[in-house]
């Protein structure tokens, strides 16, 4: 019997963790889910899992014709994953079917009896794979789709769903010389100054990674630090800082940065990124609701804890692990953190509030509420390079969406607003 494919087996475990245990891919990857795999196998397992979750609804439509009843969860997930490989990735049928059958037989007596079913079903899927292109793009879960349709309308939500299905390219922020690094890496220099890779790459193998000349950061996320317009020597707080992309931007601008995050594990990533890039910042692990600085700050960047609904195109597991009930408590937390942060701001200082959320309750509504409570605050226009007029919101912030820049590969959903005291 052929040896099972370790990457496929790991991907199967990741998908089951999302669907059965409601664990995000990141939560699993940060534990021991991929231990023992080579870097290439780890990357392939993550790609397989993400692609399967992104296309789960379409896989189920394909399989419905060939399954009289749903098999056990692990066999069902294996069939869905193999269907996505056959239909979305257009992988050779022989390799995919044989690999799936080998996985079934290698898993023990409980599953080996399904080998014949897996073989027969996947061969039928392969013969019918032309139908894949006629299937609709998967919809967002009802609790989220309804909220977004109320905010943006049906046509906009359908465009976002297409963007989610298309996935996300890899964007970089550079310490300096973005034009030079775009040429050296063969990347596109975006209007906002971020770099975007046009092909799938192994990031750690690229020139400049080990030397810390750049870091991975979505173009939408990078706009938040640019909106703050950090100046050399300013004391700036990066609130809820992990994984540290914005901390690096602020430090690269010459600011004296304090990076604060509640998670010790996530702050370790910030420290690793600082070490790799040779940039400096004070790192603090603390709960911002109970922490106080020694002195007020010139500027504060607050990337508030949120639903992360703006990042679904790169995190397709989120719709399966989040729900409306888990999101509502975030609204009160965001308001409380913003209130505390405003108290740490010098007179004449500025604060940028941002969330990687598509929900107005986590963005526009929070800023309107803060302005209503504090008559000494004003919202300042954001005039960083590359900003398009239709991103601007009535209260003066920026609303970024995954369906923007479709010809370039989209961007994460973000809300960004700058408040001046």
Which residues are annotated as catalytic?
A: 356
What backbone torsions phi and psi does residue 331 show, to the nearest 5 degrees?
Answer: -60, -45
* Overall size of the chain counted in residues: 421
In order of 146, 222, 295, 298, 420, the CA distances from 165 in angstroms are 18, 23, 46, 41, 38
Whether the ω angle into residue 243 lies within 30 degrees of 0, i.e. cis, is: yes
Which is it for strands 235-239 and 297-303: parallel, antiparallel or unpaired?
Answer: parallel
> Which residues have C-beta within 8 Å of that of residue 416, sequence separation ≥ 6?
223, 224, 227, 352, 353, 354, 382, 397, 398, 400
Write out the DSSP string of 107-129.
T-HHHHTTHHHHHHHHHHHHHTG
State the DSSP code for 136. Answer: P
Burial category of 271 from C-beta neighbours within 10 Å (exposed 0-12, middle 13-18, buried 19 and up): middle
Task: Give CA–CA dist 6/27, Å, rounded.
Answer: 20
Burial category of 309 from C-beta neighbours within 10 Å (exposed 0-12, middle 13-18, buried 19 and up): buried
Task: Give CA–CA dist 205/192, Å, rounded.
Answer: 25
């Amino acid at each position: 019997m052929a040896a099972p494919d370790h990457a496929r087996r790991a991907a199967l475990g990741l998908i089951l963790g999302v669907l059965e245990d409601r664990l995000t891919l990141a939560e699993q990857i940060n534990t021991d889910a991929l231990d023992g795999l080579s870097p290439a196998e780890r990357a392939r397992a993550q790609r397989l899992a993400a692609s399967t979750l992104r296309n789960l609804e379409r896989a189920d439509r394909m399989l419905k014709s060939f399954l009289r009843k749903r098999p056990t969860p692990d066999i069902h997930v294996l069939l869905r994953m193999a269907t996505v490989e056959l239909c979305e990735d257009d992988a050779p049928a022989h390799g995919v079917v044989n690999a799936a059958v080998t996985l079934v037989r290698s898993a023990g007596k409980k599953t080996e009896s399904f080998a014949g079913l897996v073989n027969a079903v996947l061969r039928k899927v392969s013969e019918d794979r032309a139908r894949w292109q006629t299937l609709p793009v998967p919809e967002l879960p009802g609790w989220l789709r309804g909220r977004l349709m109320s905010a943006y309308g049906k046509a906009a939500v359908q465009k976002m769903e297409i963007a989610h299905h298309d996935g996300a390219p890899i964007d970089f922020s550079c310490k300096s010389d973005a034009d030079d690094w775009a040429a050296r890496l063969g990347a596109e220099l975006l209007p906002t100054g971020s770099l975007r890779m046009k092909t799938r790459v192994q990031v750690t193998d690229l020139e400049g990674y080990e030397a810390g000349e750049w870091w991975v950061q979505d173009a939408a996320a990078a706009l938040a630090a640019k909106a703050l317009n950090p100046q050399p020597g300013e004391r700036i707080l990066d609130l809820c800082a992990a994984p540290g992309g914005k901390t690096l931007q602020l430090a690269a601008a010459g600011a004296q940065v304090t990076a604060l995050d509640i998670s010790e594990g996530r702050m370790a990533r910030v420290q690793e990124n600082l070490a790799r890039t040779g940039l400096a910042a004070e790192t603090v692990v603390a709960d911002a609701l109970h922490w106080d600085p020694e002195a007020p700050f010139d500027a504060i960047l607050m990337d508030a804890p949120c639903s992360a609904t703006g990042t679904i195109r790169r995190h397709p597991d989120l719709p399966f692990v989040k729900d409306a009930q888990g999101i509502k408590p975030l609204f009160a937390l965001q308001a409380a953190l913003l209130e505390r942060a405003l108290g740490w701001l010098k007179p004449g200082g500025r604060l940028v509030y941002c969330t990687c959320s598509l929900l107005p309750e986590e963005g526009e509504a929070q800023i309107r509420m803060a302005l209503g409570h504090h008559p000494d605050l004003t919202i300042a226009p954001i005039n960083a390079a590359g900003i398009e007029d239709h991103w601007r919101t009535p209260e003066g912030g920026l609303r970024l969406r995954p369906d923007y820049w479709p010809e370039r590969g989209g961007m994460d959903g973000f809300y960004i607003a700058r408040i001046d005291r």
